[in-house]
Amino acid sequence: MKKYDIIVIGGGSGGLTVASGAASLGAKTALIEKRDTLGGDCLHFGCVPSKAFIEAANEVHAAKHIQDLGIETSGKISLKAVNDRVRQAIAHIQEHDSIERFEELGVDVYNGKATFKNDHEIDIEGQESLYGKRIVISTGSSPMVPPIEGLDEVDFITNESVFTMEQLPEKMTFIGGGPIGLELAQAMSRLGSEVTVIEAGPTLLGKEDQDIQKQAQAILERELHVVTGASVQRVRMENGKKMVYYSVDGEETSIASDEIFLATGRTPNSGSLQLDNAGVETDKKGFISVDATLRTNVGHIFAIGDINGTLPFTHVAGEEGKLVVQNALYGLSRKMSYDYMPWNTYLTPEVFHVGLTQQEAQEKHEEVLIYTNQLEEVDRFVTDQSYEGFVKIITDTKGKIVGAHAIGTGAGDWMQTVVQAMAEGNKIGDLSNMVYPYPNHAEAVKRTADQYWRNKLFSGPVQQVSSLFLKWFR
C-alpha cells in the first residue's frame, strides 16, 4: 500500500489547487479523479463551456441587430457549430490541466472511483488502496433532479448534456431560474429558441439585491417568457411534445416544448464515497459539514468546493484550496472568510455581487448609506450603446464598504476595484480618489464613489465653514 502525506479526491479547481500546492511544497501527493481527464465540472460542463456558448449566442444576437448600420444578415444557426467552438475552448484550457502537467509537478494521478476504507485509507476501483496522513475531498456537485412526476420517463437536458446538442430546439422550457439556468436560457433565446423559464421563487436571482433583481428580470423578460411563483406538477410526452404542467396561485397551466432543461440546483457528489467508513458527517442534503478551517468532524480530513455547501463557485473552491494546503500540511488553523468573496452572473448585462445586499446591510447595521449611479451617466457606456444598468455601493456611516452590486455590460471586470477596496479595508472615498483613464467603464465606480465627497464637502458644516471663509478671504 502506497503512503502519502496528502490524498486529494477530485480533480476540479479546488482539488487541483491543493494537489499542485502540496506537491510544490515537497509533500508526497496523490490525486484521484474518477474521469479520464482533469479540470472538473468547471472545465467540462460549467464555467468554460457555458461562457464560450454565451459568447457565440451574443455574437449571433449582435449580428441580428446590426441593421442599424445598414447591414443585413440571414441564415440559420448551427448549434453543432456553436458546440464545436465550445469544445475547442475546452481543449485549449485542458492543456493546462493535463495529467502530464501534474505528474511533472510531482503528483501521482489515479483515475478511478474513490471510496473510503477507513479514515486514512482510500480504495480506488480496480486498483490498489492508498494511505493518506491527510485527505482532502473535492468531488464537487451534479445537477439536482427533483421528484417531479413523469420526469423519469421524459428525456431532459442539464448543463452536462447541453454542450453535446446538435439541433437547436424551436421551443425550450427551463425548470428553475437560478444563475446557470438563466445564463443558458438567454443564450438559447439569442440563438433562436423560444424560451420559457419556470421559477418557484417570487423573483429571479433570489440571492441578489432587490433592485438588481427587478432590473435583471425586466431586461430578461424582453427575451424570455418568465413565470415566477410556479410549482411544477408533472411532465409527460403528448403528441411528440414535452409537456410541463405547473400551477401558479393554485391555477394549473401547461406548456409544450421540444426540450426541457433542468436548472433546479445542485446536489453534492458525496453519495458514492462511503463516508461512513471514515466517520465523516454530512447534512441532510449530503453536503459535508466543515468548520471555518475547512476541517470535517474528522480532524485530518478536509472538504472544499461545492461538496461543503458554502458558495458553489470555481474561484471559491480555488481559494479554499489555498487555505487547506496550509492547514493540512502544517497543522495550522487558518479560517476561511467569505466576507469579500464576489460572484458574477454572466447574463447580458452581467450581474455582480460582493458583500451584503441593501436589505441584509439594513438588518445588520443600525444605519447604512446607499450610493447609486446609473450607467447612462457614464460616457463610455453611452458611446458603447450599452448604458442600461447601475451601480450600488453600501457603506456604514464611516464610509466602510459593506456591500456592492452592479448590473451592466462587463460588470464582473470593472467592479473588481471595489473587491480590492473591501479586502484592503479602504473606504468609499478612496475609490473616488483613484485616477480612472477617461473614458473607461470603471468610471461607473468613480461616479458612484464621488457622491461620498459631494455629500461630505458640499453640504452640512464643511460647506458652511467654507462659505464663511470665502466671505472673509480677499
Q: Which three cell numbers stand for residue 121?
A: 485509507
pLDDT at 456: 73
pLDDT at 74: 80
Cell 458574477 belongs to residue: 344
Q: What Rg, from alpha-carbon coordinates, does the chain have?
A: 25
Strands 2-9 and 29-33: parallel
- At residue 153, does pLDDT exceed 60? yes
pLDDT in tens, 195-253: 999 999 999 999 999 999 999 999 999 999 999 999 999 999 999 999 999 999 999 99
- Residue 386 near residue 349, CB atoms below 8 Å: yes
- At residue 471, does pLDDT exceed 90? no
Kindly state the DSSP code that residue 276 receives in the 8-state scheme.
Answer: G
- What CA–CA distance (Å, rounded) separates 296 from 305? 13
Kindly state the DSSP code that residue 425 receives in the 8-state scheme.
Answer: T
Cell 502540496 belongs to residue: 22
- Residue 235 near residue 260, CB atoms below 8 Å: yes
Give the annotated binding-site residues for NAD(+).
Answer: 176-183, 199, 265
- At residue 75, does pLDDT exceed 90? no
- What CA–CA distance (Å, rounded) separates 117 from 131? 10
pLDDT at 358: 98
- At residue 466, does pLDDT exceed 90? no
Report pTM.
0.94
pLDDT at 165: 96
Give the annotated binding-site residues.
Answer: 51, 139-141, 176-183, 199, 265, 306
Q: What CA–CA distances, in Å, run from 218 to 263, 404, 473?
A: 20, 21, 54
Residue 371's beta-bridge partner residues? Answer: 393
Confidence tier at 371 by pLDDT (50, 70, 90)? very high
Q: What percent of the chain has pLDDT over 70?
A: 96
Confidence tier at 135 by pLDDT (50, 70, 90)? very high
- What CA–CA distance (Å, rounded) separates 113 from 133? 20
Cell 467654507 belongs to residue: 466
Q: Which three cell numbers stand for residue 83?
A: 458546440
pLDDT in tens, 380-401: 999 999 999 999 999 999 999 9
The string of DSSP codes covering 76-114 is ---HHHHHHHHHHHHHHHHGGG-HHHHHHTTEEEEES-E
Q: Quick one: which H or E segment has residue 345?
A: strand 343-345
- What CA–CA distance (Å, rounded) separates 446 from 102? 42
- At residue 263, does pLDDT exceed 80? yes
Nearest in space to 402 (alpha carbons), one of 450, 460, 340, 465? 340
pLDDT at 126: 85
pLDDT at 461: 64
Mean local confidence (pLDDT), 128-140: 97
- Residue 4 near residue 132, CB atoms below 8 Å: yes
- Residue 404 near residue 394, CB atoms below 8 Å: yes
Q: What CA–CA distances, in Å, run from 33 to 99, 125, 262, 469?
A: 10, 11, 26, 72
pLDDT at 473: 67
Domains annotated on the chain, with CATH: 2-38+98-143+267-330 (3.50.50.60), 151-264 (3.50.50.60), 343-457 (3.30.390.30)
Strands 350-355 and 343-345: antiparallel
Give the annotated binding-site residues for FAD.
Answer: 51, 139-141, 306
pLDDT at 474: 57
- At residue 335, does pLDDT exceed 60? yes
